[in-house]
Amino acid sequence: MNKIKRTNDFVVRFANVNGSGSASANNLFAKVVYRLGVPVSPKNVFPSNIQGLPTWYEVRVNDHGYIGRRGGADFIVAVNGQTLREDYQMVEPGGYFLYDSTRPLPDSFVRDDITVIDIPLTQLCNDAFSDNRLRQLMKNIIYIGSLAYLLDIGLEPMVDSVQRQFAKKPKLADPNVKAIEIGYHYARDHHPDSCALSIRPSERVGRQILIDGNSAAALGALYAGATVAGWYPITPSTSVIEAFERYASRYRREPETGNKKYAVVQAEDELAAIGIAIGGGWNGARSFTATSGPGISLMAEFLGLAYFAEIPVVLIDVQRSGPSTGMPTRTQQSDLLACAYASHGDTRNVLLLPADPTECFTMTADAFDLADRLQTPVIVMSDLDLGMNDHLCDPLEWQDERRYDRGKVLRGVDLDRLKKWGRYLDIDRDGICYRTLPGAHPEKGAYVTRGTSHNEYAAYTEESAAYERGMKRLLNKWETARCLVPLPERTIRDEQGRIGVIYYGSSTPATCEAIDQLEASGVRLNSMRIKAFPFRKEVFDFIDRHESVFIVEQNRDAQMRILLAGECQVAPGKLVPVINFNGLPITARMITNQIHTTLLACGQACLADRSPSPEKRS
Amino acid sequence: MSYTRPGFRHPESQKNRLGLTRKAYEGSISTLCAGCGHDSIVSAIITTVFEMSIEPHRIVKLSGIGCSSKTPAYFLNRAHGFNSVHGRMPSVATGANMANRDLIYLGVSGDGDTASIGMGQFAHVVRRNLNMIYICMNNGCYGLTKGQDSATADKGSQTRKGDPVALESIDLCEMAIQLGAGFVARGFSGDKKQLVPMLKAAIAHKGLAFVDVISPCVTFNNAPTSTKSYSWVREHMEVTNTFDFIPLRQEITTEYDHGTTIPVILHDGSIINLCKREDKEVITSRKEAINALEQAKGNRQILTGILYVNPASNDFHDINNTVKTPLNELGEADLCPGNTALQAFNESLR
């Protein structure tokens, strides 16, 4: 048998039961790899359930820094009886299968192309611990200890990490250290030469941090000065507001009184959550909410009001698999169209498309400036993979000299100087008008904000001409927004190249890896990462200069492709979908295979005329 | 019907403590039906804030959708208004109040807005005890869509089509008391003498003050048997293609003593019995307040007055422990922890 022999380049997959305490053990493993300086990408594949159903945790170790999901598993730790057979079959040929041998494998488990590593986890745990809860929890730590030996990590980095984790609770550290040692020693004594995968300390990680997107977005909101958050819990966005509240509680309390310089309101539903955020934004506080697809559906009516009445508000949409309840704990990029045009009538919303937690931080902070400046909703389009999984990314940075851009707000003194003011007068010809805040002036600047048609002085009107003027001005503002949103990132690998790739958000790491893979096989593609909607002019130019452009995304209907075709007035056949919508993060293999297949099937010359259906491509 | 307001005001118009005349508290001309009870409530609101000498611009007026929700345009031109979406005024009020605790928040809603589409928001803004005055202009029907029954229409009363209302009505005052409101009152649009002091007490209350005002719809609370009904008038009109004809009506007004009951004849000829609570009688027991409401209902009476008060009410900012400075006045120095803290945070992840 040819064992897989690799250093710092493999995938370990843990198969557990949800609610068994495995997450922290598996996370400990990823953290140790990170601390050894080796790029690592952990992903939680979990059910929409509290306890009992199968859950997986996949850790990709890759010294090249590819941190997208690779697909396949070289080493599987199988401690869930429900999925034992499935996990066994899933090991890549030459790979490794570690299982709890307290119960032997059935005779029907017959593969001679993998290495089976039997460790009696339950037995070892029961022998070492008398407390029932510890017996449950430490089983997970024991297999982490075994990995420390089998992957050549060594005992010390593991023990060190455990002690750091429980620095404030030494009583909890002791059983964890004991369990690590039990696993390590058992593997050393019984499987001394079984595994050819190894981890060696590396410099590759550098100053990068390991953080999830939701925490980073929460910090972005904190640093941007958000003070009002209205929210309703929904997976996978819940931890955004929970983290915001945690950080705000730490950093935003008045020293003398302990009083809060923020208000987090858990609303009765998403309708109220966005209403609270809009009320706060209207009254001059930086306000936001976080939600997911079903919440976006409920918030749509209010988003239309905020767009039409021109109220700044920020939404963080952590997308999951739809439609309807879909797969609540699986990832997708399928809210794109729903958010871009959320609400009835002619509505357009500014979208920001972060690709990693660092951008979740910066783009969330920028979203508040944009919302204030443009006086409109701005939606940060994260997703479950980005939001709830840890990602290796650049450290978070804040320029202390940065000042919040509160946009065109007239204060009392400004109003004193003005003879005549109209809420919706386009003085600067950029589509953005001057607003006032309640209580600002005893006589001037008051108006009624409304979702009904209004003239330049905010008075209700059904006069067609006034309505049309207002709607056209909003389009003018949209053009201003186009100049303010982040530029796309362009990489030209072949000046004469006729084929391009467009991607965005959490599809980024896998797409970058796929582009490298394709180049290694002789296919050089120019690429562009889109960071915002409205699309910058550079996006139109990129599409124009190529005969065909692959659009990589994670939804069934190729929503970005639809958006590009409509907004850029491109013949849809020129844009070729590369999609994944199985609820798991897209992999480099999927992208490479789809592009390869298309190129082989059509030939590069005919790409411009064909757009194979998604079914044929998945 | 007037569509402009004359600019003339008597030079010796009464002024309040701020030196402002009533004019400073007025709004645009009403576009509601002539004689609408909602206009009487608007007048009562203007009188209230004028007499309390509140700076008009320190009030924020918010509403949802419906006849009642149009009214904030008709008072306090110097105050900012927010005409939001149907039934969702309370959430906007919550966000606005969180942003600036120093202003007075006056929410106006209707029975369709509050008791149906906005029932969830109504319930939860009461639970939050947001510091606001919540006025429900309650006429038991949907005026803007031509008179469908609302959830507060009394069981057995005749609908627009002449059928008796089959479902139980929702008593918003009883609900508000059960949900924990610290101030609950019920008034009648035509009884300004009672309504104005009631609104003054509501404004003075800290926390959510709910005021349900019975305000008969002049146009749609009509039975077909009534010769004053919309359908009867339409059938007997010579110019039948004037679909939107609204008969002019006189506003119903009344005045009577505390502790007494009077019958009030509505536009369609039906009668409601208003029973005015003794003004010195302030109930601080939720149980007793609900008993009083139920007892009146059993006697086919509508109990008016301040029904329940909790003098020790804490508002949502107290509960949240918010700083005294309005959140919308805090700047970078108050809000941003700075890059040093962020670098320490980065380190904590390593």
pLDDT in tens, B184-204: 999 999 899 999 999 999 999
B273 in reach of chain A (CB within 8 A): no
Kindly report the pTM of this predicted structure: 0.94
What pLDDT is recorded for position B281?
A: 67
What's the pLDDT score for residue B247?
55
Residues B25-34 have pLDDT tens digits of 999 999 998 8
Cite the beta strand spans of A261-407 per DSSP E. Answer: 263-266, 286-291, 313-319, 350-352, 377-383, 390-393
Q: CB of A221 within 8 A of CB of A229?
A: yes
**Count of CB atoms situated within 10 Å of the CB of A429:** 9
For residue B266, is pLDDT > 80? no
Q: Please, are residues A120 and A100 in contact by the beta-carbon 8 Å criterion?
A: yes
The amino acid that residue B318 corresponds to is D
Size of interface A-B (CB pairs under 8 A): 219
Strands A575-579, A209-212: parallel, antiparallel or unpaired by DSSP? unpaired
Give me the pLDDT at residue A613, please.
44
Does residue A605 register a pLDDT over 80? no
Percent of chain A past pLDDT 90, that is, above it, reads: 91
Distance CA(B200)–CA(A26), nearest Å, equals 62
Distance in angstroms (rounded) separating the CA atoms of residues A432 and A435? 9
Pairing between β-strand B148-149 and β-strand A526-530 as defined by DSSP bridges:
unpaired
What pLDDT score was predicted for residue A169? Answer: 86
Measured CA to CA, the distance from residue A62 to residue A76 in angstroms comes to 17
Taking the CA of residue B295 and the nearest CA in chain A, the distance in Å comes to 32
pLDDT confidence bin for B6, thresholds 50/70/90: low
Q: Which residues contact residue B244 at a Cβ distance below 8 angstroms, ignoring those fewer than 6 apart?
A: none
pLDDT tens digits, one per residue of A157-177: 999 999 998 888 888 899 999
Q: Which of residues 72-111 of B touch A (CB under 8 A)?
A: 72-73, 77-85, 88, 90-100, 102-103
What is the mean pLDDT of the segment spanning B101-119? 96
Q: For residue B225, what pLDDT band results from cuts at 50, 70 and 90?
A: very low
Tell whether the model's pLDDT for residue A456 goes beyond 90.
Answer: yes
Task: Enter the tokens of residue A4.
Answer: 């897989």
Whether the pLDDT of residue B5 is over 80: the answer is no
pLDDT at B313: 87
Average pLDDT of every residue of chain B:
86
Q: Please give the pLDDT value at position B237.
A: 36
As a whole number of angstroms, the distance between CA A553 and CA A559 comes to 8
Indicate the Cα dihedral angle A364, A370, A376, A377, nearest 10°. Answer: -10
B218 vs chain A: nearest CA distance in angstroms?
Answer: 24
- Give the mean model confidence (pLDDT) for residues A326-330: 95
Confidence at A115, pLDDT banded by 50, 70, 90: very high
A145: number of CA atoms within 13 Å, CB side?
26
Instruction: For residue A414, count other CB atoms closer than 10 A to its CB.
Output: 17
Q: In what order do the strands lie in the sheet with A40-45?
A: A40-45, A54-62, A9-17, A73-78, A91-100, A115-119
Query: How far A579 CA lies from chain B's nearest CA (Å)?
Result: 33
Mean pLDDT over each residue of chain A, to the nearest integer:
95
Is pLDDT at A609 greater than 90 in this prediction?
no
What pLDDT is stored for residue A602 in this prediction? 76
Q: What is the pLDDT of residue B234?
A: 39
- Please give the Cα distance from A382 to A367 (Å, whole number): 13
Q: Quick one: pLDDT at residue A603?
A: 67
Q: What is the ipTM of this complex?
A: 0.94
CA distances from B310 to A591, B209, B282 (A): 64, 10, 10
- pLDDT above 70 coverage of chain B, percent: 86
What integer pLDDT is reported at residue A427 of this predicted model?
A: 96
pLDDT at position B249 is 67
Chain A residues in contact with B60 by the CB 8 A cut-off are 283, 438-439
Token pair in block for residue A516: 């490298």
Q: What is the pLDDT of residues A31-90, one digit of tens each?
A: 999 999 999 999 999 888 888 899 999 999 999 999 999 999 999 999 999 999 999 999
Write the pLDDT tens digit of every residue in B234-262. 344 333 333 444 556 677 788 888 888 87
Whether pLDDT at A483 is above 80: yes
Q: State how far the alpha carbon of A71 is from the alpha carbons of A83, A92, B17, in Å.
A: 18, 10, 76
Q: Which regions of chain B does DSSP assign to beta strands (E)? A: 59-63, 80-83, 104-110, 132-138, 141-142, 148-149, 183-188, 208-214, 261-265, 271-276, 302-309
Asked if B124 and A305 come within 8 Å (Cβ–Cβ), the reply is no
Residues A564, A569, A570, A573, CA torsion sign: positive
Distances in whole angstroms, Cα of residue A189 to Cα of each of A144, A159, A178: 16, 19, 16
Which token pair is A572?
Answer: 């849809």
In a 3-state reduction of DSSP, which class is residue B150? coil
Closest residue in B to A282 (Cα) is: B96
Which residue in the set B93, B121, B346 is minimally distant from A395, CB to CB?
B346
Instruction: State the Cα–Cα distance between residues B270 and B137, nearest whole angstrom.
Output: 19
Q: Kindly state the average pLDDT of the residues A538-556.
A: 97
